[in-house]
């Protein structure tokens, strides 16, 4: 009976009970203007490699964060939508269970973490990710002298044959927590900003601790506009989107 | 208990405990993964405040450096332009500092091309030329007011024959000229989008081109969802559904050059509404009556046909303009790009005035309404660091080229601008440059203009150099930006403005300071008394350090008080101005309107040598590393081309070939081509990537302001040989399946 | 083994003739004349085992079946050289890929698995030929199975060996692939047993071990024959044969243990084999990818595997028949019987196709139907080969004449396996290229590197087989002899009585 009980214990999706922090990101689709500042911000922060023209042609660009663009309707009733897409940090992550070597796992703060030096590159996680937000290092990334001077020392440069993806700027979370600890306090809302949220000119991206009921993300996640992508798949993402307003059409 | 039952019981107990123990033991034997230390111990590094110089917006930024290397650029949270944010181009500067193609030593053009020379020799040559020129020289930059142009002005400004000009982004000049009669001095009108509930964007690609995508992005965010209960609504009218238009709630595909008529038609409905509903008591009734008469010919029913809209569409703009006030109208490239642009801008100004009058809440609609003395201070600061806006326009550039042609100059200094590449062929800048005996290019990279120069001086990257700058257009308050080196110079470069000072001193000219740093310090002292809000009790040096820490100076209270109401007589003046002339086009016999546009990544071509920017997908097409021409699928079908087929676009001035990208969000009579591609001498990432749309343009100018009317060109489009694989991020079928996300 | 001479004397009969030995020592069975041979193909009569006059002469039979092993033509060397060259270029491509990175393959996001995995599944599928067929037939006591067992079992082992290479070729960091092995480590890091890939790793290893053992145990008596022959001939093969034959002498005890062991192994293998392919199918079915995530995948893959396996056995039989002149051992009758088996399996297989398509079509779930439409749009010819081939198989195999026509059977079974390869490709590639997120849809073309490696894998399989034929007896001699029913007239006093001899 003990065994049975143990196995049917339901995991809490946002780790409310067990941990102080449960990181979450809210993206307001009504604000996103597709400018791509976040893409470059992420690239600069996380040592994301540029792969060059030829590889891009094979669809091997590595941007951890991409802005998906969808078109609806026919001229002149055309609507273009932007959808920033990065690792959704699912509480029930499909990628985690299938990795044979635990290279990807869920950390206690609700983030889906990729351990580069554990990864052997079976790419099973990529196949099981409905959002297609995991990127594989097809070749060794090239940061030739003197471009390598820009590399962020907090983030490792990935070897060929390794999966990588958005880490919610783990190093920034770490730095934020360290600073808070040094100052003898809890992390306050807004202390920690991933590169994309930091740089988004329209303020479409908000990051915070959803366990803190006073935080912006908590309020936004309960605003009624909040949706998860592919909710029907039951992945319980930590990234939530705020639906855009209704749009007029002419005619 | 007998032996048998004892054994039975002990067996049961043993097996039960074994089962119980298994659950625990197995968890110990095969534990789930030990959570590794999440990331290394992060270093914080040093953060420096400075000013982004990738475009002229003047965003305040902070730069993270670790071990003396630039790592990351972020917005300066207290800066009124950037508001803590940064755009793609600004952030990519962290990479361009370490670009392997940076120029490292001065080069003098000899018989066999460029030869590297030492810095001493370069200064000698320059000082000798300064002496010989005797003031017959010009200084051309990218239209920003910064320390370099200030220094050039102070050294040569008093000499006869000196001309300072700016190769500014097209369009600004018209925006400045729009509604000029009301301005006490020319500036770009600055509608307060932050607090508007309804906004009409007339061809204003505010997120893609100047004056500041970052500033406008912030304003848009505030407008859209910054308030708890209000969702700002935006409507875009223009011939192409740009990234800016994509976030608007409605797109009206108005024919090129007709946005002025649309604005007036909206104004007509608004004026009628004001009259019938008895709104806006501050406007004299007789003025309203006269406007009503003057606007009669712009009734929606009368102009609907030429706008290719139904009259209801126009009312759909006008009615919320009153009902959902406060409302603003923002004009942009699709207004200023045509020869009737300034006339249309008058109508836009008029609408904004009306909005101000009927607004339930008062907006800071116009920069020109912000109270004294900031206006004066802003102008004086700009002039202390260069030249007034008038000098940065296309008119001045045209005059400069004419002067060059006539041999008025024996020398020219071209400072961080690439007119050979980014001015229209019709201007013939390259030919004129050849007529100037000695041209100096101060640049970071070899580019098309530097290649034509006699002497090339490798400048510091702006992250390595001292300067100061005033943002021209936003945010409507005086801002004095400081630019400081955040790292030691990485390559063997020297500051261009330092070299100018050194050469001028050697030529026995009067110099404002010994170094740029001293010049900037001098300017801080000059304005210190007027820098309100800054700690006045500090010593000079401490004050300077304070400003450096903050990134510059701006009024502490950016949200200025509501502006005084303009007098009825001023509004009255509009009576005669309200006209929407027919647009004129170059090459009117050609079937297609050429629609050159800026993308968020390339700027005017400066971004083309950055791997990050080239690989970042364009927001609309999602193309990477690639040049393209957008046309409506209907047009493409008529031409018999599909995606990736090459077409030849030609005008009287030249032709380019480009792969077709069919896009539903563009009028069928328009072909849109991005600016900034087709470099021939800008490094291996940029060269040969597509064509330069500027080679198709004549130098057609606005009828009133003389600004470059960069969209008033009609072109021929024909199918050409060849195909190209389109390097797109979005799948050509998948991009229509967005409904799976149920957004 | 005391000496070579000793062994030589006991020679073939004692060792191999287990069931027939019965005290007879010598090359010729001391039996009356056999009934004349009736060829079923020419006379249309029902085939019998008791009419093969090749069995009459055990030495002759051994000579005949061992000839491919001991006599090698120049053509053979030329052939293996060609195979070697193909393998070498594949190996170079593999080294190149390992050195530079997996980008050398045509894979990209989100088609993270491509031709490599399709080929892996194909080879694993092929491996279900031998052992499963042989164990089923062994257990059901189908007599006609006897000559084909070895060839089929060897095929299992070799296709598994080839299949096992593909996960290694496919991983991004080959040099870290040992993380899959549950080695105790300082940091208590174990493989993730929740991952279907881990199950797969275990299943393949178990199956490889099992089928190798099965092959080896079945080989024992024949190894002894070959050993004795090799020693008699002074052939170099005696060195390893002596070791591998484990001193088999054909004693009664040896035979009884051997028989028990075979039976036991057959049962075990019969349990392992379907589980292996079910687990391979779970690599796909356990994900939440539309098109993969379906309960039908387990049996679907198993039946598909047997289908392709049996076809491959037929192909191989015909090849062996022709190449090594084994027409009298592997007879048309066998092909006919296998054809019937294949007919049954192909009907089941088509039923699975039907189930898969009809459910998807009926429910018309957008994300799944999208994949089917894309398959039809992008791979129409592939689909024709795959589905048409399946229908054609049922149609053709229903005809006895077709089953009797060796070139026809050869072509058909090849077609079946082409279809099965395509089927695997269609499971892996189109489903990944039309995944949940429409923005990331793509198309996939295998790169030259992938093609070289895949072609090399086929060469490798054939090479292994070719080497095997030269090192081990390809025909299950002991089993065949066991099945031989010898009949003849035995004189009992004045009367001649017709008897049949069979153990």
Q: Please report, for the domain that includes residue A172, its CATH number.
A: 3.30.70.20
How far is C152 from C313, CA to CA, in rounded Å?
6
Segments of chain B with pLDDT less than 50: 19-40, 181, 183-186, 365-373, 558, 560-569
pLDDT of residue B21: 44
**Range of A73's domain?**
13-242
Nearest CA in chain B to C185: B30
- A6 within a domain of the structure (yes/no): no
pLDDT band at residue C5, thresholds of 50, 70 and 90?
very low
What is the side-by-side order of every strand in the sheet holding B250-252?
B250-252, B233-237, B198-202, B327-331
| Percent with pLDDT over 70 in chain C | 84
Question: How close is the nearest chain C Cα to the Cα of B255, in Å?
Answer: 31
Q: Where residue A130 falls among pLDDT bands split at 50, 70, 90?
A: very high
| Distance (Å) from the alpha carbon of A71 to chain C's nearest alpha carbon | 11
- Residue C139 is predicted with a pLDDT of 76
**Does B734 contact C at CB distance below 8 Å?**
yes
C402/C376 Cα distance (integer angstroms): 31
**Is C191 in contact with A97 (CB distance < 8 Å)?**
no
- Measured between CA atoms, the residue of chain C closest to residue A58 is C108
Q: How confident is the model at residue C500 (pLDDT cuts 50, 70, 90)?
A: low
How much is the pLDDT for C26? Answer: 36
Lookup: tokens for C498: 């017709």
The mean pLDDT value for A180-201 works out to 88
Q: Quick: pLDDT tens for C275-284.
A: 888 999 999 9
Beta-strand pair B455-458/B438-443: parallel
Cβ of A201 within 8 Å of Cβ of B85? The answer is yes
- Residues from chain B that touch A70, judged by Cβ atoms under 8 A, are 730, 735-738
- Whether C456 is in a domain gets the answer yes
pLDDT of residue C27: 36
The pLDDT value given to residue C284: 93
**B31 vs C187: CB contact, 8 Å cut-off?**
no
- The answer to whether B291 and B275 have CB atoms below 8 angstroms apart is no
Measured distance between the N- and C-terminal CA atoms of chain C, rounded to whole angstroms: 28
Decide if A7 is inside a domain: no
Tokens of B264: 């007036």
**What chain B residue is nearest to A232 in terms of C-alpha separation?**
B741
Top pLDDT among C326 and C439 is at C439
- Residue B439 pairs in a beta bridge with B412
- For chains A and C, count residue pairs whose Cβ atoms are closer than 8 Å: 145
In a domain, C500, yes or no: no
Domains of chain B: 46-96 (2.20.25.90), 107-167+374-463+490-511 (3.40.50.740), 174-371+567-577 (3.40.228.10), 592-696+713-738 (2.40.40.20)
pLDDT of residue C28: 35
pLDDT of residue C485: 56
pLDDT over 60 at C132, yes or no: yes
A124 sits in which H/E element: helix A124-127
Is A4 a domain residue? no
pLDDT digits (tens, 9 = 90+) for A141-150: 888 888 989 9
Pairing of strands A226-227, A205-209: unpaired
pLDDT in tens, C306-320: 899 889 988 988 988
- pLDDT for A18 beyond 70: no
| Contacting residues of A for C102, CB less than 8 Å apart | 121, 136, 138, 160-161
Per-residue model confidence as pLDDT tens digits over C190-208: 888 889 999 999 999 999 9
Interface A-B: count of C-beta contacts within 8 A: 278
Residues of A in contact with B201 (CB under 8 A): none
Name which of B42-51, C10-19, C24-33 the model is least confident about: C24-33
Q: What is the CATH number of the domain that holds C159?
A: 1.20.1630.10
Q: Do C100 and A139 touch (CB under 8 A)?
A: yes
CB B118, CB B639: distance < 8 Å: no
Share of chain A above pLDDT 90, in %: 48
Which whole number is the average pLDDT over C238-247? 89
In chain B, residues with a C-beta closer than 8 Å to the C-beta of A195 are: 72
Q: Do C189 and B738 touch (CB under 8 A)?
A: no
The reply to whether the predicted model has a pTM over 0.80 is yes
Nearest residue of A to residue C288, measured between CA atoms: A128
Q: What is the mean pLDDT of residues C399-413?
A: 90
Query: Which residues of chain B make contact with A226, given a CB cutoff of 8 A?
Result: none
Q: Is residue A8 part of a domain?
A: no
A106: left (phi over 0), alpha (psi -120 to 50) or beta: beta
For residues B38 and C66, which has the higher predicted lDDT (pLDDT)? C66
Residue C98: predicted pLDDT: 93
Domain ranges, residue C475: 4-30+53-483
Give CA–CA dist B42/B57, Å, rounded.
Answer: 32
> In angstroms, what separates the C-alpha of A97 from chain B's closest C-alpha?
11
Q: Smallest Cα–Cα separation from B53: which of B729, B586, B551?
A: B551
Question: Which chains reach chain A with 3 or more Cβ–Cβ distances below 8 angstroms?
Answer: B, C
Q: Is the peptide bond before A146 cis (omega within 30 degrees of 0)?
A: yes
Is a pLDDT exceeding 80 seen at residue C366? yes
Please report residues of C whose CB lies closer than 8 A to that of B735: 438-439
Greater confidence (A63 vs C321) lies with: A63
pLDDT at residue B392 in the model: 80
Rounded CA-CA distance B611/A49 in Å is 10
Contacts 24+ apart (CB under 8 A), B159-162: B159/B134, B159/B135, B160/B135, B161/B134, B161/B135, B161/B136, B161/B137, B161/B408, B161/B409, B162/B135, B162/B136, B162/B137, B162/B138
Residue A251 domain-assigned (yes or no): no
Residues 6+ apart with CB under 8 A from B525: B540
- How does strand B480-483 pair with strand B467-470? antiparallel
pLDDT of residue B279: 80
Q: What are the residues facing B140 on neighbouring strands? A: B165, B414
- The stretch A108-123 carries a mean pLDDT of 89
Q: How many domains is chain C partitioned into structurally?
A: 1
Number of domains composing chain A: 1
pLDDT above 90: residue C456: yes
> Does B455 or C144 have the greater pLDDT score?
B455
Cis peptide before A189 (omega within 30 of 0): no
Residue B650 pairs in a beta bridge with B655, B716
Out of C189, C438, C440, whose CB is closest to B33? Answer: C189
Which residues face A70 on adjacent strands?
A81
Look at residue C127 and tell me if it is in a domain: yes
> Given this model, what pLDDT does residue B368 score?
40
- Name the more confident of A2 and B112: B112
A180 domain-assigned? yes
* Residue where the block lists tokens 């990935």: A158
The answer to whether position C48 is within a domain reads: no
Neighbour subunits, B (≥3 Cβ pairs < 8 A):
A, C
Per-residue pLDDT band for A156 (boundaries 50, 70, 90) equals: confident
Report the pLDDT value the prediction gives residue A76, as an integer from 0 to 100: 87
Report the C-alpha gap between B283 and B512 in whole angstroms: 50
- Predicted confidence (pLDDT) per residue in A33-50, tens digit: 999 999 999 999 999 999
Which candidate from A100, A121, A159 shows the least CB-CB separation from C195?
A: A100
The answer to whether B634 contacts A195, with C-beta atoms less than 8 Å apart, is no
In DSSP notation, A171-215 reads: HHHHHHHHHHHHTTSPPPTTS---HHHHH-TT--EEEEETTSTTS
Q: Which of B31, B33, B731 sits opposite C442 (nearest CB)?
A: B731
pLDDT at A200 over 70: yes
């Amino acid at each position: 009976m003990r065994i049975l009980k143990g196995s049917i214990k339901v995991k809490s999706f946002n780790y409310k009970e067990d941990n102080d922090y449960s990181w979450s990101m809210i993206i307001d689709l009504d604000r996103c203007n597709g400018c791509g500042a976040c893409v470059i911000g992420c690239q600069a922060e996380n040592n994301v490699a540029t792969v060059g023209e030829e590889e891009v042609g094979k669809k091997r660009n590595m941007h951890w964060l991409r802005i998906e663009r969808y078109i609806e309707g026919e001229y002149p009733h055309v609507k273009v939508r932007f959808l920033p897409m990065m690792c959704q940090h699912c509480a029930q992550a499909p990628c985690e269970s299938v990795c044979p070597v635990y290279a990807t796992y869920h950390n206690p703060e609700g983030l889906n973490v990729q351990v580069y030096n554990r990864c052997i590159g079976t790419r099973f996680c990529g196949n099981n990710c409905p959002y297609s937000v995991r990127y594989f290092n097809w070749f060794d990334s090239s940061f030739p002298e003197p471009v390598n001077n820009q590399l962020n020392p907090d983030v490792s440069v990935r070897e060929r044959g390794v999966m990588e993806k958005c880490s919610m700027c783990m190093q920034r979370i770490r730095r934020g927590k360290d600073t808070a600890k040094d100052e003898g306090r809890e992390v306050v809302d807004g202390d920690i900003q991933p590169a994309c949220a930091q740089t988004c000119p329209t303020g479409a991206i908000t990051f915070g601790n959803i366990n803190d009921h006073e935080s912006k993300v908590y309020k936004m996640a309960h605003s009624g506009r909040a949706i998860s992508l592919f909710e029907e798949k039951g992945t319980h993402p930590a990234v939530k989107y705020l639906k855009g307003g209704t749009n007029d059409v002419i005619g | 208990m007998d032996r048998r039952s004892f054994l039975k019981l002990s067996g049961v107990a043993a097996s039960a405990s074994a089962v119980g123990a298994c659950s625990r033991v197995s968890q110990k034997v095969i534990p789930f993964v030990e959570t590794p230390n999440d990331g290394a111990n992060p270093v914080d590094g040093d953060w420096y405040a400075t000013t982004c110089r990738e475009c002229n917006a003047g965003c305040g930024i902070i730069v993270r450096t670790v071990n003396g290397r630039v790592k990351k650029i972020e917005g300066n949270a207290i800066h009124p332009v950037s508001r803590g944010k940064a755009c793609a181009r600004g952030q990519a500067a962290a990479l361009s500092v370490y670009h392997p193609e940076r120029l490292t030593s001065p080069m003098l053009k000899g018989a066999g091309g460029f030869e590297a020379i030492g810095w001493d020799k370069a200064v000698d040559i320059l000082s000798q030329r300064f002496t010989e020129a005797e003031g017959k020289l010009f200084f051309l930059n990218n239209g920003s007011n910064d320390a370099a142009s200030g220094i050039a002005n102070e050294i040569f400004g008093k000499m006869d024959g000196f001309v300072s000009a700016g190769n500014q982004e097209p369009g600004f000049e018209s925006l400045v000229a729009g509604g000029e009669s009301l301005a006490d001095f020319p500036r770009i009108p600055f509608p307060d989008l932050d607090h508007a509930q309804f906004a009409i964007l007339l061809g204003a690609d505010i997120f893609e081109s100047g004056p500041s995508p970052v500033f406008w992005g912030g304003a848009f965010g505030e407008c859209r969802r910054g308030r708890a209960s209000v969702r700002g609504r935006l409507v875009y009218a223009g011939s192409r559904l740009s990234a800016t238009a994509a976030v608007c709630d409605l797109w009206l595909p108005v024919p090129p050059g007709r946005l002025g008529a649309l604005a007036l038609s909206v104004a007509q409905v608004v004026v009628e509404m004001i009259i019938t509903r008895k709104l806006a008591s501050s406007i004299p009734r007789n003025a309203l009556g006269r406007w009503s008469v003057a606007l009669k010919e712009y009734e929606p029913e009368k102009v609907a046909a030429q706008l290719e809209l139904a009259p209801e569409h126009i009312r759909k703009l006008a009615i919320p303009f009153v009902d959902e006030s406060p409302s603003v109208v923002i004009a942009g490239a699709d207004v200023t790009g045509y020869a009737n642009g300034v006339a249309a801008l008058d109508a836009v100004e008029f609408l904004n005035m009306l909005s101000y009058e009927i607004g339930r809440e008062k907006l800071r609609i116009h920069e020109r309404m912000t109270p004294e003395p900031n206006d004066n201070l802003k102008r004086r600061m700009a002039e202390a660091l260069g030249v007034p806006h008038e000098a940065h326009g296309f008119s001045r550039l045209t005059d400069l080229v004419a002067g060059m042609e006539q041999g008025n100059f024996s020398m020219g200094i071209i400072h961080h601008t690439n007119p050979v590449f980014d001015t229209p062929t019709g201007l013939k800048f390259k030919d004129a440059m050849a007529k100037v005996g000695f041209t100096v290019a101060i640049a970071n990279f070899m580019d098309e203009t530097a290649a034509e120069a006699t002497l090339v001086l490798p400048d510091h990257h702006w992250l390595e150099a001292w300067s100061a700058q005033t943002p021209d257009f936003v945010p409507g308050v005086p801002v004095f930006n400081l630019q400081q080196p955040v790292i030691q110079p990485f390559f063997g470069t020297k500051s261009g403005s330092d070299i100018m000072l050194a050469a001028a001193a050697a030529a026995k000219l009067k110099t404002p300071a010994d170094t740029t740093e001293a010049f900037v310090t001098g300017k801080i002292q000059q304005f210190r008394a007027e820098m309100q809000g800054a700690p006045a009790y500090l010593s000079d040096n401490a004050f300077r350090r304070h400003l450096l820490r903050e990134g510059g100076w701006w009024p502490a209270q950016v949200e200025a008080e509501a502006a005084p109401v303009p007098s009825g007589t001023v509004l009255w003046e509009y009576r005669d101005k309200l006209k929407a002339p027919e647009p004129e086009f170059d090459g009117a016999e050609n079937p297609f309107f050429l629609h050159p546009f800026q993308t968020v990544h390339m700027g005017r071509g400066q971004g083309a040598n950055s791997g990050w920017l080239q690989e970042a997908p364009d927001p609309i097409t999602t193309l990477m590393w690639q040049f393209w021409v957008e046309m409506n699928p209907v047009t493409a079908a008529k031409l018999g081309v599909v995606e990736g087929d090459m077409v030849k676009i030609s005008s009287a001035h030249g032709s380019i070939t480009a792969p077709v990208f069919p896009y539903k969000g563009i009028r069928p009579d328009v072909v849109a081509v991005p600016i900034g591609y087709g470099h021939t001498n800008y490094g291996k990432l940029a060269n040969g990537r597509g064509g330069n749309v500027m080679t198709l343009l004549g130098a057609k100018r606005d009828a009133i302001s003389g600004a470059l009317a960069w969209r008033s060109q009609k072109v021929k489009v024909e199918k050409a040989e060849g195909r190209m694989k389109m390097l797109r991020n979005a799948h050509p079928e998948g991009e229509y399946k967005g409904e799976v996300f149920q957004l | 083994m005391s000496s070579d001479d000793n062994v030589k004397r006991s020679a073939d009969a004692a060792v191999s003739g287990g069931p027939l030995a019965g005290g007879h020592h010598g090359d010729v069975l001391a039996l009356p004349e056999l009934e004349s041979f009736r060829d079923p193909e020419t006379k249309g009569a029902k085939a019998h085992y008791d009419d093969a006059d090749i069995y009459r002469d055990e030495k002759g039979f051994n000579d005949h079946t061992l000839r491919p092993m001991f006599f090698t033509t120049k053509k053979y060397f030329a052939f293996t050289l060609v195979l070697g060259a193909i393998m070498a270029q594949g190996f170079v491509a593999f080294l190149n890929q390992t050195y530079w990175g997996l980008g050398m393959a045509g894979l990209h996001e989100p088609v993270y698995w491509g031709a490599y995995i399709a080929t892996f599944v194909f080879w694993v599928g092929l491996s279900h030929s031998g052992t499963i067929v042989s164990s089923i037939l062994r257990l059901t006591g189908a007599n006609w199975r006897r000559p084909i067992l070895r060839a089929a079992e060897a095929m299992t082992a070799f296709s598994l060996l080839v299949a096992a290479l593909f996960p290694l070729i496919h991983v991004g960091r080959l040099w870290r692939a040992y993380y899959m092995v549950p080695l105790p480590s300082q940091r208590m890091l174990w493989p993730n047993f929740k991952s279907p890939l881990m199950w797969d790793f275990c299943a393949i290893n178990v199956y490889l071990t099992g089928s190798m053992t099965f092959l080896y145990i079945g080989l024992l008596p024949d190894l002894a024959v070959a050993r004795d022959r090799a020693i008699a001939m002074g052939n170099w093969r005696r060195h390893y044969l002596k070791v591998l034959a484990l001193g088999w002498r054909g004693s009664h005890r040896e035979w009884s243990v051997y028989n028990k062991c075979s039976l036991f192994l057959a049962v075990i293998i019969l349990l392992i084999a379907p589980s292996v392919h079910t687990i391979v199918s779970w690599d796909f079915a356990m994900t939440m990818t539309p098109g993969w995530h379906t309960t039908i995948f387990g049996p679907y893959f198993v039946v598909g595997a047997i289908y392709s396996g049996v076809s491959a056995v037929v192909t191989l039989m015909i090849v062996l028949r022709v190449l090594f002149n084994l027409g009298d051992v592997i007879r048309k009758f066998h092909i006919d019987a296998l054809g019937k088996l294949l007919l049954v399996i192909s009907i089941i297989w088509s039923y699975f196709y039907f189930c898969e398509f009809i459910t998807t079509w009926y429910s018309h779930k957008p994300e799944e139907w999208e994949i089917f439409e894309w398959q039809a749009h992008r791979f129409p010819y592939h689909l024709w080969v795959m589905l048409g081939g399946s229908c054609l198989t049922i149609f053709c195999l229903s005809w006895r004449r077709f089953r009797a026509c060796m070139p026809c059977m050869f072509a058909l079974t090849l077609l079946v396996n082409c279809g099965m390869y395509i089927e695997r490709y269609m499971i892996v590639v189109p489903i990944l290229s039309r995944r949940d997120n429409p923005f990331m849809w793509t198309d996939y073309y295998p790169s030259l590197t992938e093609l070289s490696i895949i072609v090399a894998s086929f060469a490798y399989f054939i090479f292994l087989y070719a080497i095997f034929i030269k090192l081990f007896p390809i025909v299950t001699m002991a089993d065949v002899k066991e099945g031989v029913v010898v009949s003849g007239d035995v004189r009992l006093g004045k009367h001649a009585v017709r008897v049949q001899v069979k153990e």
